[in-house]
Amino acid sequence: MNVLDVRGLTKIYPKFTLSDLSFSVREGSVMGFIGRNGAGKTTTLKSILHIVHPDAGEITYFGMPFASHEAEIKQLVGYAGGAVDYYRRKPVKKLLEVTKSFYPAWDDALCKKYLDVFSLDPEKTPAALSEGMRVKLNLTLALSHGAKLLVLDEPTSGLDPVSRAELLDVFRFLRSQGIAVLFSTHITSDLEKCADDITYIAKGKRIASEPLPSFLARCRETGAGNTLDEIMVHYEKEDLYEAFAE
């Protein structure tokens, strides 16, 4: 079953358009969402959660249209957009209490587990945490209410290699529990270690959305590259040549 179906998603800004984007996220899978800076990744993630309102498209979670089941769906979805940057002077435990009040299914034991896994001190304030630790705090907030789908915008940004490896282990564990993860990242080597599927966009349009192994195999056969880094450079570098030629 798909936990998320996006069809024809469009968001128009004066100088950028996310155009007719479609993809699906399968239950218990990890989907990596890639594209260079400015490609529309954050716009997409915020649009599918109505943090910004799309101009067109259909968004369905767990077989339910988002437009008519938004409150119910948001109890089943966790979102984290980088590091926590609010309530910076309040203790982490206060931040947890405030967030808990929005989620009837909040699990205190699960929350404590992630605090321990991420070595987060609930007595500290976000202002006293490093960028990487504030990312881990945001993930704890997203994970502690029993979400069936996590939507994460650059969750590994700011993390050291050991912390990134720990986070990828968390993704693999969640997948084993039937929880799906959709996350954008510019660190494509992370995806090659944990992603089942890939969605790649450029200039607001979909380049590919398919299982990662088949995407890599197809790109190798066509000479586009052997790794995600190489493939992205292959698809994107022509724009650079054209810019210098003008």
Contacts of 100 (CB under 8 A, 6+ apart): 106, 108, 111, 144, 145
Tens digit of each residue's pLDDT (9 = 90 or more) over 195-223: 999 999 988 999 899 999 999 999 898 88
The Cα-based distances of 73 to 6, 61, 139 in angstroms read 14, 7, 18
The 8 Å CB, 24+ separation contacts for 115-118 are 115/140, 117/166, 117/170, 118/166
pLDDT of residue 132: 75
pLDDT confidence of residue 83? 62
Report DSSP letters for 12-44, one per residue. Answer: EETTEEEEEEEEEEETT-EEEEE--TTSSHHHH
Cβ neighbours around 125 below 10 Å, total: 15
pLDDT along the chain (246 residues), means of 10: 95 93 95 89 92 94 93 90 74 92 90 89 90 82 89 79 80 86 85 90 91 92 87 72 42
pLDDT attached to residue 241: 42
Are 23 and 207 in contact by the 8 Å Cβ rule? The answer is: no
pLDDT, position 242: 46
DSSP state for residue 109 in the 8-state scheme: H
Residue 127 DSSP class: G
Which pLDDT belongs to residue 82? 66
Quick one: pLDDT at residue 62? 95
**Do 178 and 14 form a contact (C-beta atoms < 8 A)?**
no
CA torsion angle 60 55 68 177 (round to 10)? 30
Question: What digits encode the pLDDT tens for the residues 28-61?
Answer: 999 999 988 888 998 999 999 998 999 999 999 9
